[in-house]
Copies of this chain bind each other. A is one copy, B any other.
Amino acid sequence: MNFGIYIYKNAEVLDFSGPFEVLSTANRLGNKDWNIFLVSENQGVTQARGGYPINSHFSFEDHPEIDVLIVVGGIHTEEVKKSNVTTWVAKVAENSMKVASVCTGAFILAEAGLLDGLTVTTHWEDLSDLMTDYPQLNVVSDQRWVPQGKYITSGGISAGIDMTLHLVSELANLTLAKETAKQMEYNWQKNTQPSV
Contact = CB atoms under 8 A, between A and B. Distances in A.
Contacts of A57: 51, 53
Contacts of A157: 21, 183-186
Interface of A: 12-14, 17-18, 20-21, 23-25, 27-28, 36, 38, 45, 49-57, 123-125, 155-159, 161, 181-187, 189, 193-194, 196
A193 B189 contact: no
Q: Chain A contact residues: over half helix, strand or loop, or mixed? A: mixed
A24 B181 CA distance: 25
Contacts of A51: 24, 36, 57
A36 to B, nearest CB: 7
Contacts of A49: 24
Given A13-B21, A185-B193, A36 B53 contact: no
